[in-house]
Structures are given as C-alpha cells and as structure tokens.
Amino acid sequence: MASSPLIDPDVLERVLASALRRGGDMAEVFAEDRRSSSAVLDDRRVEELASGRERGAGVRVVDGDTTGYAHTADLSQAGLLAAAEVAAAVARAGGGGTRTVALGPVASAGDRSLVDPAAVDKGRKLELLARADDAARAAGGAITQVQVSYGDSRRRVLVATTDGVHVEDDQVRTRLSVSCVATGDTGMQTGYESVARTEGFEVFDRVAVADLAQVAANRALRKLSARPAPSGELPVVLAGGSGGFLFHEACGHGLEADHIVKDASVYTGRVGEQVASPLVTLVDDGTVAGEWGNFAFDDEGRPAARNVLIQDGVLTDYLWDWLRARKEGRTSSGNGRRQSYQHLPMVRMTNTFLLAGTEDPEELVAQTPRGVYIAKLGGGQVNTATGDFVFGTSEAYLIEDGRITAPLRDANVIGNGPDILRRIDAVATDFAMMPGTCGKDGQSVPVGCGQATLRVTGITIGGTAT
C-alpha cells in the first residue's frame, strides 16, 4: 500500500521556517489522512454501512511556556502557511529574524498489515456479521437480541519539526464486537465480547467470529441464573486480561507526566519508593505488535518504546510527551498522542500491562476459601489525585471453598489504586491483553490493557446480597 507523502518536503521546510519567523523554540507540522469504514447488524438488519475520510494538518509553535496551535483541512502550501501564521501569532507576538529549516530523510515505518481492509468487499464484511449473529442465537433460545459491529481504519500520519524530526507512520486497525441480550425470569441480561487489532483483515484468518459470538451469548445466558453479589471487602481473583482496565485507570493515568508536574497524582515525587507488591511490574509498551495501542511513532514523531513504570513494586519512572519532558530536562518516552490533527498531543498510555508471574491460575483460585472471581470488568472511573476508583463487573462468580461456583449479578468494585497494588499476593502465568478506548480531556485514543490472573487480598464489592 505504498503512497505518496502527505506533504512535499520542500513545502514542509517552508512552513516550519515561516512558523518560527517571529521567533520561538520549536515548530511542528502534524499531518493526517484517515480512512474508515463501519457496519452494524442489529437484530439481523443492517443498520449501518458507512465509510469516511478525514484529512488535514495541525501546526504547533512553542515559545517558552506558551504553545500556539492551528489546524486546517487544506494541505496546500497556502493553507499550511496560514495555519503556521496563526499558531506563531498565538505563541509569540512581535520579534524578528528568520530561521532556516532543513529536513533530513524521512523515517517511514510503512504499512504493517497484510490485507488492507479497504480492499475487502463489503459483502465479505457483512458475511462476518451474519455468521456472528447466527452463532450467538444458536447458543440458546433465551438470546433475544444480538448486535454485531465491525470497523476498520487506515491512519497515515506525518510529523516534521524544527528539532529534526521527520517521520511517517501507517496504522491499520480492524475490530469486531458482539453484544447479546438474554431474557428470562430474572429479566434481561447482557453479554459482550470483541476483537480489536492493529492489523488488517487478516485478523479473521486467526479469530473465529462464531467463537466470539458464543462467548458473548454465554456470558448473557449465565447471568440469567445469577445471584446478588455479596457486599463488603472480600478477596478478589481477576481473570487474565480482565483486570487490565482497572490498572490502566487506577494506576496508569496517575503515572502520566502532565498529572505529575501539576502535582495532581498520588504518585508525584515517589520515584524510587515501594508503591506496590514486589510481585508487580507495570509496563507501558507501544511496540507490542498487533495490540490495539501499537504504533511505530507517536504523534510527536518519537519512536514507540517499552517503558517500565514499576519494577518489582518500586516506582521507576513516569510517562512523558515532548512538552513535559522538555520542561524537566528529560527525553520523551514516546507517549505523546492525539485523537486527530485537530488536537494537541498530550501524555497518553499505549499498551499498559502487569507482567505475568509464576502461579498456576487454577491453584490460585483453589487457595482462596471465599471471594469473588471477576472474569470480565466493565467500565469505571478514577480520581488520579487520590487513586480512588469505581468499576463495574460484567461477568463475576462466587468463590466458595476454593471453587468457582454461582454466577453473580453485576456489581461495583470500589477501591484505591495504590492500595490495590500493595494487596496483590499472587500472580499467575496466563497473561492476556484486551483492547480499549481511553478518554482524556475530550480526546479518545486506542489502547491495550493486560495482566495474568491475579489475586487481591481485599477489595470492596458493592453488591446487594445481605
């Protein structure tokens, strides 16, 4: 899928030079061309079959502590020069002098997918949805509603700066999700499952959509016989992959440098301290091929990197973008990300996960006399300043006498991120990742989350059982 550059190098040089014509410390051009398609099958009817394209560029000028930013959908030289003029005016008024910018050869990651989803016939995509719908309904007569969603995107980006950065990346992502409703004597219950990869359509050579659909349907069916969840503090076993979002929200956001420099994180000033159980090593890694938060270069042109944040329970570092790293005399950790060319970059996670341990996951449950086994977490929220969080469960079971027994109705999990990290007393070998979408300050980006099955000695369960 070779393509011509989004912007000619000669034009980039002129725009960057113009952006610093009145002075400033750094100028940047971020260009993006995003194509996407989606389809939704809702109760056997095609409710959506859409495609779209978004194309444009943003110009950022940094002068001291002031940042000017302007974006445009016009990628011509005139359009880019106009954006540069606006950004420069915001960053600095007056001044004089000129600055010559010479870009080096472009570093291009190239496309890493095997099958471009845009080249796949719409009929093949709709056939996937129908196959998943059939499989979900075949799981049981109590399945009364099924919705299957498909989406793909190709995002080409270019970043060039007066600091010598000149890179291109080509990111292809493909996803499919199944949502089911089961109806019984206890009312309606839901189940959900998805696959999302930074790959092309070849993902469906490995992933059977019928299996995904059956997982979603069985999740809903089992909840028809669920009992109320217990309330109070109990040991909790989190299944492999299921708890990644908890650590993303409850710990990861607090390790982003913008929160750190504003003293808005419970982890501020604690590098070198024991902040978690010695069993905990927390990593953020944008280089993990195929995962939802994977890329070759971040949205400031820095290479994706593997960053160890907590090593054997000790806080080792934070996540950095260019702007915050510059103020602290650091280098970016490759975590500058933005939703689109219309947004400024900020510090964001990529693929964030706890490393696997050495325990057998079944033995880990067997060693728990009473507690809750969470097979899948739902959504949640966190206060980064305190680490306090609330999450919902979407599939959970009671643990009795070391065995997983009755399914439980959805409940809340309430706790504190640093406290939970300290309470992890066993980590298994069955590491797994899950895709997600991370929202922050009005921007959303794809991320990956993961962990192996682990046990927390106590978390508050907000159930209704007496």
Asked whether residue 287 is assigned to any structural domain, the reply reads yes
Residue ending a domain, choose from 201, 225, 249:
225
- pTM to 2 decimal places: 0.93
Question: Residue 215: pLDDT band by 50, 70, 90 thresholds?
Answer: very high
Among the candidates 178, 207, 225, a domain finishes at: 225
Residue 70 lies in a domain: yes
Three-class DSSP category at 138: helix
Share of the chain above pLDDT 70, in %: 95
315-356: per-residue pLDDT in tens? 999 999 999 999 999 999 999 999 999 999 999 999 999 999
Looking at the fold, whether 282 and 160 belong to one and the same domain comes out as no
Q: Are residues 304 and 169 in the same domain?
A: no
Same domain, 211 and 324: no
Query: Quick one: 208 and 272 in the same domain?
Result: no
Do 355 and 458 reside in the same domain of the chain? yes
* Domain end point (choices 225, 251, 272): 225
194 in helix, strand or coil? strand
> In this structure, are 216 and 302 located in the same domain?
no
Q: What does DSSP assign to residue 251?
A: I
Strand-pair category, 231-238 with 370-382:
parallel
- How much of the chain is in helix, strand and coil states, percent to nearest 5? 20, 45, 35
> Does residue 453 sit within a domain?
yes
Which residue carries 């799981």 as its tokens?
139
Q: Per residue in 123-159, pLDDT tens?
A: 999 999 999 999 999 999 999 999 999 999 999 999 9
- 66 sits in the region (left: phi over 0; alpha: psi -120 to 50; else beta) called beta
Tokens encoding 437:
């979408």
Residue 3 lies in a domain: no
Question: Does the structure show a pLDDT above 60 at 57?
Answer: yes
Which is more confident, 92 or 115? 115
Domain range holding 25? 9-225
pLDDT for 99:
43
> What pLDDT score was predicted for residue 272?
98
Q: Per the structure block, which two tokens stand in for 129?
A: 């949805």
> Do residue 121 and residue 152 come from a single domain?
yes
Q: Are residues 20 and 108 in the same domain?
A: yes
Residue 189 maps to a domain:
yes
pLDDT digits (tens, 9 = 90+) for 60-99: 999 998 999 999 999 999 999 999 999 999 887 534 333 4
Tell me the CATH number at 75.
3.30.2290.10
Q: Report the DSSP pairing between strands 388-400 and 412-416.
A: antiparallel
**83 lies in the same domain as 197:** yes
Same domain, 218 and 235: no
Are residues 256 and 181 located together in one domain of the fold?
no
Total domains present in the chain: 2
Residue 1, in any domain of the structure: no
Distance of alpha carbon 465 from alpha carbon 108, whole angstroms? 57
Is 208 among the domain residues?
A: yes
Longest dimension (CA), the chain: 77
- Torsion sign (Cα): 417, 418, 419, 425: positive
Same domain, 260 and 164: no
